[in-house]
């Protein structure tokens, strides 16, 4: 079973988070901010991050110059950034708009699979679904898609903390 089946259809519902709000929620900045917007947000549950992959990305200079492929670990990071923004937005909504912590730190990455290359011109859909949340620790299942093709997937855990 894939996440496309688990993410509720939010075509007319759900929250969209634009780039300015993403930057207010998580500390990542260029060149390491890897999501352009987040759509279909169900607070505390799931979201779909969007990354427009372009040839001028910094990692294509060396991966690979004659055959540019987005590194799988960068895709996993983009999934994690989507999840981090979802966590911060969800907790802020529960806390009268106040950001609950300063940072979301990776704790673990499990079951990562890299299935299909992502190349310049692709629009990457970064689907994340919460598996559980216990205090400051959240666990997600993430899948990256280009159109109807699953490209990458992983399960990962993160912790909200003060700097």
Q: So which residues are the catalytic ones?
A: 63
Structure tokens, 24: 């207010």
Contact between residue 47 and residue 86 where contact means Cβ atoms under 8 Å apart: yes
Alpha helices in 7-103 (DSSP H): 19-25, 72-94
- SS3 at position 52: strand
The enclosing H or E element of 6 equals helix 3-6
């Amino acid at each position: 079973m894939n996440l496309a089946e688990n993410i509720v259809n939010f075509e007319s519902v759900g929250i969209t988070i634009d780039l300015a709000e993403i930057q207010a929620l998580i500390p990542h900045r260029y060149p390491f901010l890897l999501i352009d917007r987040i759509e279909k947000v169900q607070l505390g549950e799931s979201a779909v991050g969007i990354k427009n992959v372009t040839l001028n990305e910094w990692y294509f200079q060396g991966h690979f110059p004659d055959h540019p492929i987005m590194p799988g670990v960068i895709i996993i990071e983009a999934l994690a950034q989507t999840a981090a923004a979802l966590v911060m937005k969800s907790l802020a909504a529960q806390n009268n708009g106040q950001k609950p912590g300063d940072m979301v730190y990776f704790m673990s990455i499990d079951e990562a699979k890299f299935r299909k290359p992502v190349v310049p011109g692709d629009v990457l859909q970064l689907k994340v679904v919460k598996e559980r949340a216990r205090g400051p620790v959240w666990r997600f299942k993430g899948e990256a898609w280009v159109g109807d093709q699953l490209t990458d997937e992983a399960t990962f855990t993160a912790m909200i903390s003060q700097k």
